[in-house]
Structure 1
């Protein structure tokens, strides 16, 4: 056999072995960041989207962040960041857990707005008048709320 024939046979043997090997691999794990939005059935426009447990106590930064959130964010994201059906999503939701949406995502959203990608509420506009410090305090509040609701 010449070298070309050996190459072709080797190519098909390796390819066939790879195909057989792939068939015996386990199914891939579900992506932990592939989250589904909350079920909105039965909610009217403006209803809170999720039930939120309030922490017994907030840190000093989260207390200030709560005040800033209430002034700048709650009109859309609702009381206690529970979201409002037909208006804006809840921030106390697995979608916004730190491993999926880090603190920088909140800073970017406030500065630049966000193109809708997890929910069907439309795009979020930039929030005028918030400093990076304000957003960091809001994030402290949101993260403490998330932890109190089992979102790490």
Structure 2
């Protein structure tokens, strides 16, 4: 296995908050075989070994990276249409991150550990986020 690690970043389309993401995933995990939540996508990551070496999926909610989940494994899923898909199996713990602005994009992208926002320190997940305009202005001048 490689000693490098890489993460994925993905838009959480239709999600308004980390809490809503958690609620949706709890319902999904109840329907899974092993109790883990998952996200299914068409593409299989070429950097699978690096992702499985401690990588996470970072969720973009309403234009901001807001949380991450550790990626446990990738499962092959064949749809009713016969098309092979990749099921990204996730740890059930959702870890809030320091907010970081992210423009919309299609599918998922790789995210290096150096570019990933830090986890929010324990106990700070209930703090109110900065107003979007202030957060955007700080990001533009490189403060956050």
Short-chain TM bin = under 0.3
Q: TM-score, normalised by structure 1?
A: 0.24
Structure 2 length normalisation: TM-score?
A: 0.25
The structure richer in strand per residue is 2
Instruction: Give the structure with the larger helix fraction.
Output: 1
